Amino acid sequence: MTSDLSGIIKQKTHFFQIRVFYEDTDFTGIVYHANYLKFAERGRTNFLRLLGISHSELISSNEPKHFVVYKMNSKFLGTSTIDDILEVKSIFIGIKGVRLKIDQDIYKGEKKVFSTNIEFALLDKNAKPMKFPDDMKLKIKKYLN
């Protein structure tokens, strides 16, 4: 697997490109609003993957754990259409206790079309909030902005 598939990290910011497909659009021909959340999710997942944090490994480990969205504040600032190339920019803002904060913006060229601030929790196999393991915390802290 190449890092291009997962995007790249430059100066603590993760950059990930997505091409808009027909399936991403609604009847008006523009990207359906919920798909921006999917694009942001792909960006976050790939950012973590490049840090050596894999969702599949977290779930299948001896002590299974997973991320869930705790809080989200999003703004839809523009539109995108089929064949547009979008870039998801992700920045870790903070990690404390059971929560991780990340800011994400999606651009079409120079124009920001979507922005979201998300707070995640890490849950154990019983869906109880848990503190981030030290090794995971160290990987993320290197990229805090």
Q: Looking at residues 59-74, what average pLDDT do you find?
A: 92
Tell me which residue has tokens 């973590």: 48
CA-to-CA dists, residue 98 to 27, 44, 54, 86, 142, angstroms: 40, 17, 18, 31, 18
Question: In a 10 Å sphere around its CB, with 0-12 CB exposed, 13-18 middle and 19+ buried, how is residue 63 labelled?
Answer: exposed
pLDDT digits (tens, 9 = 90+) for 3-62: 578 999 999 999 999 999 999 999 999 999 999 999 999 999 999 999 999 989 888 888
Using 50, 70 and 90 to split pLDDT, how confident is the model at 2?
A: very low
- In terms of residue numbers, what domain contains 118? 3-141
Distance CA 118, CA 65 (A): 19
pTM above 0.85, yes or no: yes
CB 93 within 8 A of CB 47: no
- Of 26, 103, 105, 134, the catalytic one is 26
CATH number of the domain residue 75 falls in: 3.10.129.10
pLDDT digits (tens, 9 = 90+) for 75-111: 999 999 999 999 999 999 999 989 999 999 999 999 9
Using 50, 70 and 90 to split pLDDT, how confident is the model at 1?
A: very low
- Answer yes or no: 134 catalytic: no
pLDDT digits (tens, 9 = 90+) for 108-121: 999 999 999 999 99
Bridge-based pairing of strands 99-108 and 13-19 is unpaired
Say whether pLDDT at 73 is over 50.
Answer: yes
Residues 6 or more apart whose CB falls under 8 angstroms from that of 69 comprise: 118, 119, 120
Return the structure tokens found at 22.
């027909």
